[in-house]
């Protein structure tokens, strides 16, 4: 097979970001040496590290690099060191700006329960066994960005806070397209969640998705659910879902709820995709769902598997290498089956290994597969 040459940006960020990214880079280097990949990695600062290096959380050089590369691997940003910087210059603003500048409108949040970690869920094992769902959240529109917004003082002295939930046909269609495409590679079922019963934007959401489905995606089963019912169904019978597509606000909540079904923050990757370019590629950012975990930063005990799972998603969705993604995901399941645990996923009082040793265990497993 020929070598597939790719260039990616490495934005390790702050806290445990650099610790888990080091393991991701070791895994990519192992693949370059032992599989038929050629992924060239360029590290660049972001978040608090961006502030320290260039005075802003998203330095120009970092943004320029991200625009040019095939994919962005992102660790995590934030920490007490930058607690007192101006609000719009805080480390987390770097990630928001990057999403905005690259128009990363589709956020993919898989929630998968590994058999070996089934007891980590607060739900009964028979409810979550084999759980494998994907939430596709609209990420750049809706009430978090809609105008008008603000806080005003009324004539009687009371204050009034307001935001606007707004979606256009185009915004709904493009995220729905991603959801249908994802479902086609999975169990071919999409559930769309909104509040069409009480919100006009929800009514439009339902109508546009139904129309798009009828035009182009009749091979996929489409169902609709009110978002509040969806929140309940995720706890009652999560296995009924394959792909859930929803707006920014409901997606924020439902994707965190789905994450908690798995019980382990350190295990969950994510992807954020932009619009397809003329050459068929998309801007794409891959990151664990957790933050910079300042409480354990520097101790060498962070779980690198969410970061390595994000590498797998990168191979699948940005580098068109589903085979490598499968290999990595199988290796993650295999290290868990072998009993390797970092502190966050170890049972209370049980022995656990360091971040680096988890990286070692994963690479040793890749060698065996």
Q: CA-CA distance, 267 to 303, in Å (whole number)?
A: 7
Q: Is 228 a catalytic residue?
A: yes
**Which positions from 4 to 23 touch ligand NAD by CB under 6 A, shown as an x/- string?**
------------x-------
User: Could you say which residues in the range 238-277 bind ligand NAD, by CB under 6 A?
Assistant: 265-266
Q: CA-CA distance, 262 to 79, in Å (whole number)?
A: 26
In the set 282, 290, 316, 341, which binds ligand NAD (CB under 6 A)?
Answer: 290
Q: Is 295 a catalytic residue?
A: no
By DSSP bridging, strand 106-112 and strand 221-226 are unpaired
Interface region with ligand NAD, contact rule CB under 6 A, candidates 183-191, 194-202, 235-243, 288-296: 288-296
Angle at 286 between CA 256 and CA 163, to 5 degrees: 50
Q: CA-CA distance, 214 to 93, in Å (whole number)?
A: 39
Q: CA-CA distance, 181 to 190, in Å (whole number)?
A: 10
Q: CA-CA distance, 267 to 325, in Å (whole number)?
A: 15
CA distances (Å), 48 to each of 59, 86, 306, in order?
Answer: 11, 12, 21
User: Could you say which residues in the range 316-345 bind ligand NAD, by CB under 6 A?
Assistant: 344
In the set 18, 57, 59, 79, which binds ligand NAD (CB under 6 A)?
Answer: 79
Question: According to the binding rule CB under 6 A, does residue 303 interact with ligand NAD?
Answer: yes
Q: Smaller CB distance to ligand NAD: residue 217 or 290? A: 290
Interface region with ligand NAD, contact rule CB under 6 A, candidates 72-80, 134-142, 204-212, 242-250: 72-80
Active-site entry in 101, 132, 144, 352: 144
Backbone phi, psi, residue 275, to 5°: -75, 150
Q: Smaller CB distance to ligand NAD: residue 282 or 290? A: 290
Q: Smaller CB distance to ligand NAD: residue 209 or 293? A: 293
Find the shortest distance in angstroms from Cβ 295 to ligand NAD.
Answer: 5
Token look-up 């994963």 returns 362
In the set 296, 308, 324, 361, which binds ligand NAD (CB under 6 A)?
Answer: 296
Q: Is 126 a catalytic residue?
A: no
Interface region with ligand NAD, contact rule CB under 6 A, candidates 4-12, 134-142, 150-158, 300-308: 300-308
**Which structure tokens are listed for 325?**
């993604």
User: How many C-beta atoms surround the C-beta of residue 86 within 10 A?
Assistant: 7
Cβ atoms of residues 190 and 180 within 8 Å: yes
Find the shortest distance in angstroms from Cβ 334 to ligand NAD.
Answer: 19
In what helix (H) or strand (E) does residue 152 lie, and over which residues does it extend? strand 150-153
Active-site entry in 181, 256, 326, 357: 256
**Which structure tokens are listed for 290?**
């957790």
Q: Smaller CB distance to ligand NAD: residue 74 or 241? A: 74
Our CA dihedral for 194, 132, 363, 44, rounded to 10 degrees, sits at 0
Find the shortest distance in angstroms from Cβ 236 to ligand NAD.
Answer: 26
Backbone phi, psi, residue 84, to 5°: -100, 10
**Which structure tokens are listed for 312?**
């797998």
Find the shortest distance in angstroms from Cβ 343 to ligand NAD.
Answer: 7
The answer, yes or no, to whether the previous bond of 42 is cis (omega within 30 of 0) is no
Find the shortest distance in angstroms from Cβ 367 to ligand NAD.
Answer: 24
Q: Smaller CB distance to ligand NAD: residue 176 or 268? A: 268
In the set 183, 306, 311, 362, which binds ligand NAD (CB under 6 A)?
Answer: 306
Q: Is 252 a catalytic residue?
A: yes
User: How many C-beta atoms surround the C-beta of residue 184 within 10 A?
Assistant: 14
Q: CA-CA distance, 149 to 162, in Å (whole number)?
A: 5
Q: Smaller CB distance to ligand NAD: residue 92 or 208? A: 92
Q: Is 256 a catalytic residue?
A: yes
Q: Smaller CB distance to ligand NAD: residue 78 or 263? A: 78
Please give the positions annotated as active site. 144, 195, 228, 252, 256
Site for ligand NAD, rule CB under 6 A = 16, 76-79, 92, 95, 265-266, 287, 290-296, 302-303, 306, 344
């Amino acid at each position: 097979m020929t070598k597939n040459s790719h260039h990616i940006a490495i934005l390790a960020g702050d806290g445990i970001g650099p610790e888990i990214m080091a393991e991701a880079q070791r895994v990519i280097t192992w693949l370059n040496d032992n599989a038929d990949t050629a992924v060239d990695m360029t590290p660049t600062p972001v978040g608090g590290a961006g502030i320290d290096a260039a005075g802003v959380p998203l330095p120009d050089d970092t943004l320029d690099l991200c625009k040019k590369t095939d994919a962005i691997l992102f660790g995590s940003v934030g920490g007490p060191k930058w607690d007192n910087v101006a609000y719009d210059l805080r480390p987390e603003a770097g990630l928001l700006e990057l999403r905005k500048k690259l128009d990363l409108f589709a956020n993919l949040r898989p929630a998968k329960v590994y058999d070996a970690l089934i007891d980590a869920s607060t739900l009964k094992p028979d409810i979550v066994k084999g759980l494998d769902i994907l939430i596709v959240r609209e990420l750049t529109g809706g009430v978090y960005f809609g105008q008008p917004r603000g806080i005003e003082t009324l004539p009687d002295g009371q204050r009034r806070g307001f935001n606007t939930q707004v979606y256009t046909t185009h915004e709904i269609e493009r995220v729905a397209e991603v959801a249908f495409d994802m479902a086609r590679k999975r169990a071919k079922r999409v559930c769309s969640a909104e509040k069409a019963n009480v919100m006009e934007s929800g009514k439009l959401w339902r109508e546009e998705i139904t129309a798009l489905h009828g035009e182009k995606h009749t091979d996929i089963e489409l169902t609709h659910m009110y978002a509040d019912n969806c929140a309940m169904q995720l706890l009652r019978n999560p296995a009924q879902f394959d792909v859930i597509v929803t707006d920014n606000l409901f997606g924020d909540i439902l994707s965190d709820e789905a994450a908690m079904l798995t019980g382990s923050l350190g295990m969950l990757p994510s992807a954020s995709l932009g619009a397809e370019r003329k050459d068929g590629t998309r801007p794409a950012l891959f990151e664990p769902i957790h933050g910079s975990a300042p409480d354990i930063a520097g101790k060498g005990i962070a779980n690198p598997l969410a970061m390595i799972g994000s590498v797998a998603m990168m191979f699948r969705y940005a580098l068109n290498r589903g085979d490598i993604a499968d290999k990595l995901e199988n290796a993650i399941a295999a290290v868990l089956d072998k009993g390797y645990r970092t502190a966050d996923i170890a049972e209370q009082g049980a022995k656990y290994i360091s971040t680096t040793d988890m990286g070692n265990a994963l690479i040793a497993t890749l060698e065996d597969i």
